[in-house]
Chain A
Amino acid sequence: MRDDHAPAAAGDPHPGAALAGDATAADVESLRKHSSVYVYEAPVRLWHWVNAAAILVLVATGWFIGSPPPSMQIAEATHQFVFGYIRFAHFAAGQVMAVGFLARIYWAFVGNHHARQLFVLPVWKAHWWREILFELRWYLFLEKEPKKYVGHNPLAQVAMFLFITVGLSFMILTGFALYAEGLGADSWLYHAFGWVLTLFGNSQIVHSAHHLGMWAIVIFMMIHIYVAIREDIMSRQSMVSTMISGHRSFKDDRPG
């Protein structure tokens, strides 16, 4: 069976087209013909932007849940629901994010192989580790020319795995556990997520952990946006537009 995940081998009919990362022979062929590769399929792109919007809402409303806005006296408490709406927005966005994440996991099974990068780190591959080292050197200004990648570069893959795959799972677990508290101990959500509260021992600790998780995602967001823009300018391939059109185009035809 053909291993379409391996970089093109030495005896390849197009030796010049050997690419780094997770490029397949099919990618190489596509690149030779079109000079761009279709990487992110529509569901992946849609998830990315829905997820980004949900996180923005979650961070803003989550901040206010920890530190409520100044008291407002619009009406009697019966007719005023300011803090209630903030919490509602948080819960709604959280559920959108959770459903989106589940859909994204589903797509990892049925989508193209790039869709699996978020969930599987190829730690058993030596070239993957070498490329991590290379990327570190590139960001430390020790390499003159970056490599070409069709999917994520390995360093980005590690960051996304830690902050999105692990990080979002953690936020979804703790978030639903906290939400289940409001629904009550006999709700199905409490049956499903109540163990998280028991694990931490005290709901206040879960609140703190959820709060720290928010900051971790904010920090990831800052780095992610900076690096996406920087690499769009300085790398040899498209970045920002790839998450809009799905196509990765390359700026030169020199090998990887």
Chain B
Amino acid sequence: MSQIETFYDVMRRQGITRRSFMKYCSLTAAALGLAPSYVPKIAHAMETKPRTPVIWVHGLECTCCSESFIRSAHPLAKDVVLSMISLDYDDTLMAAAGHQAEAALEETIEKYKGNYILAVEGNPPLNEDGMFCIVGGKPFVEQLRHAAKDAKAIISWGACASYGCVQAAKPNPTRATPVHKVITDKPIIKVPGCPPIAEVMTGVITYMLTFDRLPELDRQGRPAMFYGQRIHDKCYRRPHFDAGQFVEQWDDENARKGYCLYKMGCKGPTTYNACSTVRWNEGVSFPIQSGHGCIGCSEDGFWDQGSFYDRVTDLTQFGVEANADRVGMAAAGVVGAGVAAHAAISALKAAQRKTQSKNEDA
């Protein structure tokens, strides 16, 4: 394996100084929630371990995960990880195309059997034998199964691979299916989001390289260090939530003051992600900071949770637009009317009986 470069080699080749490299290691350790003592370990792993080959395949998706990834705040991560991936296989980013690209895929699978990481962006549609997504003349699901067979682990990038996202929204005509329901015999790490945060993506890869294992996953298979808390838990507008100060209408005075977007349907309280801490575009901002509620893009089935702008979700099961309150109030109204009618009849019956018994007595 000595012919494979280390991450550090690649970094140096790209003109990155030792000092910048150490900074990258510290930042990554911080992002992963590790103690400073782990910085040398990360640096050591980067310097000594051969690069982990990554095959990056694309199913039904919009490439927003790739777009996010190549905008990773730290230029080093972008350069290193990107060059690593383009060397192996990523049909949207690599220079090769057509048969050459497919040959590169086969070569990588052969060469690194059991050692490469399979990164999946998008998901396979299963209806019509998978004909809704064709890669290299074959249904994507076949490429996915083929590449997954010899993979060490699988990373499900984004909401598509993790949960299905928009193409799996009801009624899901192509039967787009998340990766973990197709590949069941490999360790899978879900990195949901539409797209996931770039630093989260590079952080996950760095962790896997440094410690040679998957990061700690939560119940749903997401890295706990990034998906352990809700947007709401670290939202900088949280004090306004607790105070009961809400944006009542877009562009009202409260919106200008930056009050809580809860009433505008913000899904921050039900969404697990790192947006409110890591933020986007080199930590510049995130949706709530820009004045729009969270839409919950890293949650399972987020397209089917009604409008992005309702606090109480619409329940489509009832055939018409109704939410829990409208359904509940209608039911309570019917029951209330029933109770009133029943009470009235009861009273009439009782009165009738009294008259009867009086007549009998007489």
Residues of A participating in the B interface, judged by any CB pair closer than 8 Å: 66-73, 75, 77-78, 80-84, 86, 139, 141, 144, 181-182, 184-186, 194-195, 197-198, 201-205, 207-208, 211-212, 214-216, 218-219, 222-223, 226, 230, 233-234
CB of B312 within 8 A of CB of A84, answer no
Residues of B participating in the A interface, judged by any CB pair closer than 8 Å: 218-220, 224, 228-230, 233, 239-246, 248, 254, 259, 262-263, 267, 269-271, 296, 299-302, 305, 311-313, 315, 323-325, 327-329, 331-332, 335-336, 339, 342-343, 345-346, 349-350, 353
CB of B219 within 8 A of CB of A198, answer yes
Interface of A is mostly: helix
Smallest distance from the beta carbon of A114 to chain B beta carbons, Å? 26
Interface of B is mostly: helix
CB of A222 within 8 A of CB of B246, answer no
CB of A185 within 8 A of CB of B301, answer no
CB of B246 within 8 A of CB of A71, answer yes
Smallest distance from the beta carbon of B158 to chain A beta carbons, Å? 16
List 19 A-B pairs, Cβ < 8 Å: A67-B325, A71-B244, A71-B248, A77-B239, A77-B240, A80-B243, A82-B244, A141-B349, A198-B220, A201-B301, A202-B299, A203-B270, A208-B324, A214-B328, A215-B332, A219-B331, A223-B339, A226-B342, A230-B346
Sorted nearest first, the 6 A-B pairs with minimum C-beta distance are A215-B328, A82-B244, A83-B244, A203-B270, A211-B324, A80-B243
CB of B315 within 8 A of CB of A68, answer no
Task: Look across to chain B and name the residue whose beta carbon is closest to the beta carbon of A79.
Answer: B243
Contacts of A233 in B (CB 8 A): 350
**CA A75 to CA B240, docked complex, whole Å:** 11
Given contacts A80-B243, A204-B305, contact A71 B254 (CB under 8 A): yes
Given contacts A66-B325, A186-B228, contact A208 B245 (CB under 8 A): no
Indicate which residue in B239, B312, B343 contacts A230 across the interface (CB closer than 8 Å): B343
Number of A-B contacts (CB under 8 A): 137
CB of A84 within 8 A of CB of B324, answer no
Given contacts A68-B246, A80-B244, A81-B242, contact A234 B350 (CB under 8 A): yes
CB of A201 within 8 A of CB of B300, answer yes
**CA A207 to CA B266, docked complex, whole Å:** 14
Smallest distance from the beta carbon of A75 to chain B beta carbons, Å? 8
**A-B contacts besides A68-B246, A198-B219, A211-B312, 6 pairs, CB < 8 Å:** A78-B239, A81-B243, A84-B243, A144-B353, A205-B313, A215-B329
CB of A67 within 8 A of CB of B243, answer no
Smallest distance from the beta carbon of A222 to chain B beta carbons, Å? 6
Indicate which residue in A71, A77, A139 contacts B242 across the interface (CB closer than 8 Å): A77
Smallest distance from the beta carbon of A191 to chain B beta carbons, Å? 10
Contacts of A216 in B (CB 8 A): 328
**CA A205 to CA B312, docked complex, whole Å:** 10
**CA A204 to CA B268, docked complex, whole Å:** 10
Contacts of B323 in A (CB 8 A): 208
CB of A226 within 8 A of CB of B343, answer yes
Smallest distance from the beta carbon of B189 to chain A beta carbons, Å? 16
